[in-house]
Amino acid sequence: MTENVSIVAESATRIFADLADPQTINRAKDAAWKAPLWQALTDAGLTLAWVPEALGGSDAGLAEGFEVIDVAGRFAASVPLVETLLAGWLLSQGGIASPGGPMTIAPGRPSDTIGLNASGKLSGRARGIPFAQDCEHIAVLASGAEGASIALVETKNCRVTPGANPAGDASNEVLFADTPAVEWRPASAGFDRTAMLLMGGVARSVQTAGALGAVLRMSVAYANDRVAFERPIAKFQAIQHSLAQLAGEVAAAVAASGSAADAIAHMQSFDDQIFLEAASAKIRSAEAAEKGAAIAHQVHGAIGFTNEHILHRFTLRMLAWRDDFGNESHWAVELGRKVAAGGADAFWPLLASR
């Protein structure tokens, strides 16, 4: 498994390095770079890594998919790779084949609900759906009279409100008004909206950890190159202290997200242990994103706030990802409720089991 994961990660890294170098993209006049990148990712089977071969995917496995997400975070490229991975995974939970092209997933907020009637039409509103306006299909987890169902919807049949997150990536409100599903099927037993949000939250946590690692390397390099008072600013104790704090935030995000991803890759179901891992990862990585972005911009000074520098490509996306699939406040409350419901005697066994 480890060898296969490394091969997948190396393949993804080569593709992103060749076609999505952050500095090159930051200087690009248009989005012409996206099509070659997406084609390369598709040809390598990375966009549908979480989809079984029988349903049109590459069946690379959960661990391999998380490796791809980590690489995507390290390059912070504005393409719906993570969203397509999640959409393919969601569709596979209902045995629905994945179409070609980029996809996204709904709902993306804990408070949003989409209904599905007996004739296969969806109704409801989903906010903050990443890249919806750029995707041909949306994988939807809907609720109906018989429980949770999974549906594949063509975006053109929805009302999509233009919008963007702080990094400028599409983030749309999607209205389903008797929108017909291309295909829909009941979700597997025990699968619900919480499970979907936990999976999305861990994906964002891994992506955030990857971006934080890139920000740390960028900050260390800048501190060693930037000279003030005839010596690199990395020699100043205050800067060293800031970089040490940043490294601590990166380590925390990597540890929390890595543990949650490993737990999901080996899980039998979305039980209490997975909830603890996934919720904790989303909480800690979101906190690390906020603190890490602030420290990185302090180290870079004024240059880090300019469009000419690539730092903003990472920090703004990390901050935007905090809200996807439930922010840290939501999961902190839900985690507290679950621990309280289990009682004092159940808390230590749950914590020590990981």
Alpha-carbon gap, residue 208 to 318, rounded angstroms: 6
Residue 94 lies in a domain: no
pLDDT digits (tens, 9 = 90+) for 231-253: 999 999 999 999 999 999 999 99
Residue 88 lies in a domain: no
pLDDT at position 5 = 53
Sequential DSSP letters for 144-206: ETTEEEEEEEEGGGSEEE--B-TTS-BEEEEEEEEEEPSEEEEPPTT--HHHHHHHHHHHHHH
Q: What is the mean pLDDT of residues 89-100?
A: 95
Same structural domain, 144 and 184: yes
- Name the residue range of residue 135's domain: 102-190
Which helix (H) or strand (E) segment holds residue 244: the answer is helix 237-265
350 DSSP β-pair partners: none
Residue 156 lies in a domain: yes
pLDDT at position 2 = 46
- Number of compact structural domains in the chain: 3
Same structural domain, 335 and 260: yes
Helix (H, G, I), strand (E, B) or coil at 58: coil
CATH number at residue 151: 2.40.110.10
Residue 91 lies in a domain: no
pLDDT digits (tens, 9 = 90+) for 130-156: 999 999 999 999 998 888 999 999 999
Residue 128 lies in a domain: yes
Same structural domain, 216 and 335: yes
Q: Last residue of a domain, which of 154, 174, 190?
A: 190
Same structural domain, 181 and 221: no
Please tell me the pTM assigned to this model.
0.94
Alpha-carbon gap, residue 34 to 141, rounded angstroms: 28
pLDDT digits (tens, 9 = 90+) for 77-92: 999 999 999 999 999 9
